[in-house]
Amino acid sequence: MSKARALLSAAVSYVRKNPDELVKAAVNAASGRFGVPMAALRYLAEQAPTGKRMPKDIELATAPPALRLSATVDAMGTSLRAGGAIKVDHIEVSVDTLRVGVRLNDLKLTVLGESDSPVATLVKSGALDLSKPGNLVKHLPKKPAAIVEAEGDRIVLDLMRVPSIAKNRTVQKVLSVLTPLVGIRGIETDRDHIYVNISATPKGLRQAFDAIRKI
């Protein structure tokens, strides 16, 4: 079975077991609130690509309004269990910007197995101030291009600074059509869902139609 068919089958099975989700989705959509069940995100995490450098044993939960995430990662040959709560506090989307501000709290790093590597020694020493991950990221010698701000418990990413995203024609076309019409007010969670809150801008219809004609 293809991944697309497997995903569709899982979605149909979930709706059959939780028919009230359709009613809830309709009510939320009327107020510009679109929810994704955590069960769906967990399913997608289970289907994520595997590999030596890919996160493993991903666990997802909510700590409203934040999302709690933990995973096993390889850090320079050292196996670590990493986890924490992620709260999105700012979103800015335009044709040339995909900026997301996140706050990271309750971070934990645990060395798995026996290791005396530099990374393991640093984690075990307790010298890392995990209460202010932004400060740690700020002083990295080679920060990822997407990181535009890092301070305290907050990190700001601009995904359009990643060349593979910025030069992607599909991304450019989608943004040119959607950004005049829709704005994202925020992302939050409750016990069983993650929600994207949007605001509609009907005045942007003409600009959106112009973008469609150019596609």
| CB-side neighbour CA atoms (13 Å) of 210 | 8
- The vertex-129 CA angle with 125 and 135, nearest 5°, equals 135
pLDDT digit string (tens) for the chain, length 215 residues? 566 787 778 777 888 888 888 888 888 988 899 999 999 899 889 888 887 778 999 999 999 999 999 999 998 889 999 999 999 999 999 989 999 999 999 999 999 999 999 999 999 999 989 999 999 999 888 888 999 999 999 999 999 999 999 999 999 999 998 888 888 999 999 999 999 999 888 776 677 667 677 76
pTM of the model: 0.81
Q: CB atoms < 10 A from the CB of 195, how many?
A: 16
DSSP E strand boundaries for 30-180: 33-37, 56-63, 66-75, 78-94, 97-111, 147-151, 154-158
Taking the alpha carbons at both ends of the chain, their separation in whole angstroms is 33
* Closest by CA position to 9, among listed 58, 35, 47, 38: 47
